[in-house]
């Protein structure tokens, strides 16, 4: 089922939460709504679900206006961060619930329900757990069961609101991959809310970056990362250094114009001699975490900090070769610089 969002507006008091949003989601896509807290992701998801009414605009499912259709008619499945399973029911009964409560005329037979539940438990790789109760499961297992329960009624659209938000980092990572594979199998149109850029990049076919009730950019993960449309998107999708002034100044650009250049920490090369476009810096500290080393430098001209990140082995080789230690003077050469013609980035918007 495709989803179209048209000129959607919603405000709570003075706060504009959906500021004339337009969005097309193709059938079978997995789309992430990504943005900081308060950017309007959950409200947009709730409007798509029919749990919230917009002030104006519409949501179309497969070309049909759903305005006025209630939650059940929309045939959406939900998984929330804290979507508690029914504690007094076994896992089997939790997954069967949506089918059991159907009116008699459309309710499958007990045998058909049992088959469906086992099929779903296999799909989420937990069929050995059917007779347990929710409190006997880990958080990650519970969310997989919540997903099986949402899929039991064969929803046309699956909506996930920070489904892995309450889980620890390692489990989150596993579940992301698992969800990706599951989506390839089930292929139901899915919208996934997250504030975690890594999660969005890893899981989604498409990322919709939201900020203050607006869509800043909408595209495949690589496109959004490699070609950010705005400074906000660039900053939200990963760490970046800001340089004011003439960094790697392009000949022909207007002289004297104040420019802001953005360079990601892994896009700065450490060299021992000045080169065109390089910056003279002094090493403040180096920190190795896992496979990467993060170096903090200070610019020799204005004392501001610049972060550089590189693979641990590369750092070790460089340290040997240049005798790099705290206080060493070197030069940084950007490999890739991003500039925006009409720069109006407001750092306060990131908080």
Ligand X SMILES: Nc1ncnc2c1ncn2[C@@H]1O[C@H](COP(=O)(O)OP(=O)(O)OP(=O)(O)O)[C@@H](O)[C@H]1O
Residues that bind ligand X (CB under 6 A): 12, 15, 17, 35, 37-43, 195
CB of 62 to ligand X, least distance (A): 25
Q: Which CB sits closer to ligand X, 55 or 131?
A: 55
CB of 340 to ligand X, least distance (A): 24
Residue 165 contacts residue 133 (beta carbons within 8 Å): no
**How far is Cα 27 from Cα 206, in angstroms, rounded to an integer?**
13
Produce one character per residue of 158-190: b if its CB has 16 or more CB atoms within 10 Å, e if not: bbbbbbbbebeeebbeebbebbeebbeeeebbb
How is residue 196 annotated by DSSP?
Answer: -
CB of 20 to ligand X, least distance (A): 15
Q: Containing H/E element for 4?
A: strand 3-12
Closest among 192, 186, 188, 113 to 157, alpha carbons compared:
188
CB hemisphere CA count around 220 (13 angstroms): 2
CB of 36 to ligand X, least distance (A): 7
Q: Which CB sits closer to ligand X, 14 or 302?
A: 14
**How far is Cα 128 from Cα 140, in angstroms, rounded to an integer?**
15
CB of 161 to ligand X, least distance (A): 8
Q: Which CB sits closer to ligand X, 61 or 80?
A: 80
Q: Which CB sits closer to ligand X, 33 or 310?
A: 33
CB of 85 to ligand X, least distance (A): 22
Q: Which CB sits closer to ligand X, 194 or 241?
A: 194
Q: Which CB sits closer to ligand X, 17 or 85?
A: 17
Sheet holding 329-334, edge to edge: 268-271, 329-334, 279-289, 292-299, 305-311
Q: How many residues does the chain have?
A: 351
Residue 337 backbone dihedrals phi, psi, to 5 degrees: -120, 135
In the block, tokens 């594979």 appear at 181
């Amino acid at each position: 089922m495709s989803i179209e969002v048209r000129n959607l507006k919603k405000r709570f008091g003075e706060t504009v939460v959906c500021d004339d949003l337009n969005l097309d989601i193709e059938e079978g896509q997995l789309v992430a709504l990504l943005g900081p807290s308060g950017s309007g992701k959950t409200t947009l998801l709730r409007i798509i679900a029919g749990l919230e009414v917009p002030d104006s605009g519409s949501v179309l499912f497969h070309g049909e206006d759903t305005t006025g259709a209630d939650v059940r008619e929309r045939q959406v499945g939900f998984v929330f961060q804290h979507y508690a399973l029914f504690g007094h029911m076994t896992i089997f009964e939790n997954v069967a619930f949506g089918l059991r409560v159907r009116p008699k005329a459309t309710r499958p037979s007990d045998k058909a329900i049992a088959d469906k539940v086992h099929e779903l438990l296999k799909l989420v790789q937990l069929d050995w757990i059917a007779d347990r109760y929710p409190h006997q499961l880990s958080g990650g297992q519970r969310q997989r069961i919540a997903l099986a329960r949402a899929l039991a009624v064969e929803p046309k659209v699956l909506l996930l609101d920070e489904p892995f938000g309450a889980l620890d980092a390692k489990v989150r990572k596993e579940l992301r991959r698992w969800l990706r594979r599951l989506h390839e199998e089930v292929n139901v149109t899915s919208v996934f809310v997250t504030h975690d850029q890594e999660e969005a990049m890893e899981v989604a076919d498409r990322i919709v970056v939201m900020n203050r009730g607006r869509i800043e950019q909408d595209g495949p993960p690589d496109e959004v990362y490699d070609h950010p449309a705005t400074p906000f998107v660039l900053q939200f999708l990963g760490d970046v250094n800001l340089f004011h002034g003439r960094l790697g100044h392009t000949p022909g650009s207007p002289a004297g114009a104040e420019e802001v250049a953005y360079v990601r920490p892994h896009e700065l090369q450490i060299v021992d001699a000045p080169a065109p476009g390089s910056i003279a810096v002094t090493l403040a500290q180096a920190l190795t975490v896992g496979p990467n080393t993060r170096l903090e430098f200070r610019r020799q001209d204005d004392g501001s900090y610049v972060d550089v990140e590189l693979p641990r082995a590369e750092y070790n080789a460089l340290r040997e070769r240049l005798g790099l230690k705290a206080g060493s003077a070197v030069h940084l050469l950007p490999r890739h610089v991003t500039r925006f013609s009409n720069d109006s980035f407001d750092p306060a918007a990131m908080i």
